[in-house]
Amino acid sequence: MEFSSRAGGVGILGLGAVLPERAVSNDELAQRLDTSDEWIRTRTGIRERRYAAPEVATSDLAVAAARQALADARIAPEQLDWIICATTSPDNPFPATASRVQATIGAGRAAAFDLMACCSGWLYGVALLQGLIRSGSCRYGLVIGAEVLSRIINWQDRSTAVLVGDGAGAAVLGPVAEGAGILSILAGSDGDGYEHIIMPAGGSRMRATAETVAAGLNAFHMNGREVFKWAVRQVPEAADRALELAGLGVGDIDLFVPHQANLRIIEAAAERLGLPEERTWVNIERYGNISAACIPVGLYEARACGRLLPGQRLLTVAFGGGLTWAAAVMRWM
């Protein structure tokens, strides 16, 4: 899917982000796993990640981020037409976590559903909402990326257990002035890589049993090396295409907000694109990989610390399980 509107017209009206308080250092993980701070830092860039308290579920983080985004946008919950929750770690396999959010925030008019595109989910949701808004079947929509990945860690596999954390980010989308908002957006998938990032059991292919749980199959599995090689190629390719659709060059971009899966992937992509460090957003050292929440949390923090200012142009790229990817160029308001 590709869309280009160099005139803008649909954009982000408000943002919210929530990270659980509990920070878990690499040293703390090394007490539980055969790993070290040195290995994790040098191979991934991660220093710590946040874990939600036991009583906190994905929808709790999603609701808090959604409330912030609505307040920021000055939009009442009753004005929402659609709520999309992008998550890989829903409260329950069904119904949708978005339905819980809808009831809790009091968005009585909104249709609500979850979107499963793993780490690309939030940008997939942005792509869908902008289409709905342009078509006239939505005025204001809420798209949330929320994860409690600490519940689906495979503690038998140190190569994935150290990577992930919990958190949520949300955005309200709606009509904006001409020239502002989403200038281009694309989303794609390559299902040949289906097995590379997977929870093997707990679905119709292999139902959850005591044996699957004991074998760690109801948890996160990844073929890290394959995903790494793919991402280093795919991220610059998607970014180049999003720029082309927007009619812009890399020199026009003020801030690059990539998915935070591995600092080495971010650095390789930025170098290939010719983007210097000061124009590349990185927060993986503090949060690890929070999947669908990475990009909205990144946007929220970049704006909060003055790295993303009105009038600036933003390039964002997500990638993950599916395999899936998505990229967008926006003019910030």
Catalytic residues: 119, 259, 289
Q: Is 3 in the site for ligand UT7 (CB under 6 A)?
A: no
User: How large is the C-alpha radius of gyration of the chain?
Assistant: 19
Compute the least distance from the CB of residue 258 to ligand UT7, in Å. 11
102-141 mask for ligand UT7 (x: CB under 6 A)?
Answer: -----------------x----------------------
Q: Single out the residue of 96, 110, 231, 275 in contact with ligand UT7 (rule: CB under 6 A).
A: 231
Distance of CA 274 to the CA centre of its chain: 23
Q: Where are the alpha helices (DSSP H) in the chain?
A: 26-30, 37-44, 58-73, 97-105, 121-135, 158-161, 210-214, 224-246, 263-273, 284-287, 294-304
Q: Is 320 in the site for ligand UT7 (CB under 6 A)?
A: yes
Q: Single out the residue of 67, 134, 158, 286 in contact with ligand UT7 (rule: CB under 6 A).
A: 158
CB proximity list for 54: less than 8 A, separation 6 or greater:
none
Residue range at the interface with ligand UT7 (CB under 6 A); choices 65-73, 78-86, 158-166, 184-192:
158-166
Report whether 297 contacts 308 (CB < 8 A).
Answer: no
Q: Which of residues 233-262 bind ligand UT7 (CB under 6 A)?
A: 261-262
46-85 mask for ligand UT7 (x: CB under 6 A)?
Answer: ----------------------------------------
Token reading at 20: 């659980």
Q: Which among 245, 263, 240, 253 is positioned nearest to 307, based on CA atoms? A: 253
Query: Which residue's entry shows tokens 């989403």?
Result: 182
Compute the least distance from the CB of residue 268 to ligand UT7, in Å. 11
**Cα gap 156→81, rounded to integer Å:** 43
Token reading at 33: 């796993």
Compute the least distance from the CB of residue 29 to ligand UT7, in Å. 8
Q: Which residue is nearest to ligand UT7 (CB)?
A: 224
Helix (H) or strand (E) holding 198: strand 197-198
Compute the least distance from the CB of residue 240 to ligand UT7, in Å. 19
**Cα gap 65→146, rounded to integer Å:** 9
> Is 36 or 312 the residue whose CB approaches ligand UT7 more closely?
36
**Where along the sequence are the contacts to ligand UT7 (CB under 6 A)?**
35, 39-40, 43-44, 119, 158-159, 162, 197, 224-225, 227-228, 231, 261-262, 265, 289, 320
